[in-house]
A and B are shown apart, each in its own frame.
Chain A
């Protein structure tokens, strides 16, 4: 039913300080949720700061947004949503103990995440090229707002921090691939894929708000 290497895989053992599998799983999931909560607070505060700046310098945001390509943003949205979908499929296959399909879906998500970063790099390069840089390095042409540099400063901080989370998420996918070489996923134990999936969904979630704030309204 699973891959050829399944015979050499270990079964998961419950850690010493937990009573049973369910307690362990629920604890991990709850812990992960709390961690997600703190991530949301961090990004949420950053987005609140963005709304504050939007209120303070509306013209800077309007002019700044005009220099972002919403099509690239939409493409990235597509990449992230699709990879979120494949990550959930990876967890679903882990439950069915289909180790091979878990790996395929993980690799697919990894590729989509990499695609996201590539598009991001293209966007950054264009910004560098046009001098749309934060602070004193800003020398973009055709702006009437004296504060247009703030939009780009904010753009780089938020997307940079988000890209950092994408990288961490990719690290988690690679870790899941490694674990899948060692441990057999079953309906009873698929925690690593589930946790990476939750984390990855958060990366989606943040992007769902970043995308309109930076690319669509302003």
Chain B
């Protein structure tokens, strides 16, 4: 009889633990952000990047907990939904990496690529400021 019941049975204890760990992790995230880490006397490491990666790591951990417990991925009988969820992030990663492959190598061959010009476009002529071209 139990076999025919859909889904998993929620446990209040687990839910409580999940909630507490999410709150702790978000406090940790804010903590990392507030830490004046970049002022450390270390120059062989991009500390801004380290900080961002730490924060990202906490966010990913929180996302994992939300998906696993609140959305119930951990209890799935077939792993289908988990596959969907991971595929998702795989596609997003592709998008991110390839867009970065564009922007971070612009000008690698021809430095004039990187230069951003700054002027008002006549396309938005309605602002009336279109004449103030400053090349």
Q: Is chain B in direct contact with chain A in the complex (CB below 8 A)?
A: yes
Binding site for B on A (CB under 8 A): 20-22, 24-26, 29-30, 33-34, 36-37, 40-41, 44-45, 48, 51-52, 55-56, 70, 74, 77-78, 81-82, 84-85, 87-89, 91-92, 95, 136, 146, 187-188, 190-191, 194, 197-198, 201-202, 204-205, 208-209, 211-212, 215-217
Report the bound CA distance from A38 to B23 in whole Å: 27
B80 touches A187 (CB 8 A): no
Cβ of B116: which chain A residues have Cβ within 8 Å of it? Answer: 56
Q: A74-B26, A81-B19 are in contact. Are A88 and B10 (CB under 8 A)?
A: yes
> Is the pair B6, A51 in contact by a Cβ cutoff of 8 Å?
no
- Which chain B positions have C-beta within 8 A of A191? 6
Given contacts A40-B88, A81-B19, 6 further A-B contacts (CB under 8 A): A44-B92, A45-B92, A52-B99, A88-B15, A201-B70, A216-B32
B77-135: which residues lie under 8 A (CB-CB) from chain A? Answer: 78, 80-81, 84-85, 87-89, 91-92, 95-96, 99-100, 103-104, 116, 118, 124, 127
Q: Which residues of A contact B87 (CB under 8 A)?
A: 37
User: What is the distance, in angstroms, from A184's C-beta to the closest C-beta of chain B?
Assistant: 15
Across the interface, A70 reaches (CB within 8 A) one of B12, B19, B30, namely B30
CB of B7 within 8 A of chain A?
A: yes
Nearest B residue to A26 via CB reads B6
Q: Which residues of B contact A95 (CB under 8 A)?
A: 7, 9-10
Given A21-B4, A194-B7, A197-B70, A78 and B59 touching (CB < 8 A)?
no
**How far is B70's CA from A174's CA once the two chains are assembled, in angstroms?**
20
Query: Do the beta carbons of A52 and B4 come within 8 Å of each other?
Result: no
Per CB-CB distance, the 7 closest pairs between chain A and chain B, nearest first, are A25-B6, A92-B10, A216-B33, A44-B92, A201-B70, A85-B19, A33-B81
B124 to A, closest residue via Cβ = A136
Q: Does B42 contact A (CB under 8 A)?
A: no
Q: Are B103 and A37 in contact (CB under 8 A)?
A: no
> B71, A198: Cβ atoms under 8 Å?
yes
- Min CB distance B123 to A, Å, is 13
Q: Could you tell me the distance between the alpha carbons of A74 and B9 in the complex, rounded to whole angstroms?
A: 31
Report chain A residues within 8 Å CB of B5: 22, 187-188
Q: Which residues of B are found within 8 Å of A212, using beta-carbon distances?
A: 29, 33, 55-56, 58-59
- Roughly how many angstroms separate A85 CA and B78 CA in the complex, as a whole number? 25
B95 contact from A48, A70, A190, A204, Cβ within 8 A: A48
- Shortest C-beta distance, B118 to chain A (Å), equals 6
